[in-house]
Amino acid sequence: MWRQCGKCQHMIELSQGCIRIECRCGHEFCYQCGAEAGRCPHGHGPDPRGVRPLPMWLKILYWVIFLGLAILVIWYVK
């Protein structure tokens, strides 16, 4: 049985394991009903990885801040 990702429309097949699926685009959904993970009645439980990964925009923001501070430190030392 195949399911289509609701975000990028990529087709995904579940061969075994949990019905909580993460697509290659990062979207997590319930394989059984297609709803966004955590918003369906199938009780997937807590995220098995513990903490959820940061969204890409936040990673970029952290890098911009880090690089900005690094440039300031280098400029200050000179």
Report pLDDT for 54.
Answer: 77
Active site residue 33: no
Report pLDDT for 70.
Answer: 92
What's this model's pTM, rounded to 2 decimal places?
A: 0.48
Q: Do the Cβ atoms of 42 and 60 come closer than 8 Å?
A: no
Report pLDDT for 62.
Answer: 94
Report pLDDT for 8.
Answer: 93
Report pLDDT for 65.
Answer: 95
Report pLDDT for 46.
Answer: 54
Pull the structure tokens for residue 68. 């900005």
Residues of the chain with pLDDT under 70: 42-52
Q: Which of 5, 8, 18, 30 is an active site residue?
A: 18
3-state secondary structure of 4: strand
Cα(22)–Cα(78) distance, integer angstroms? 47
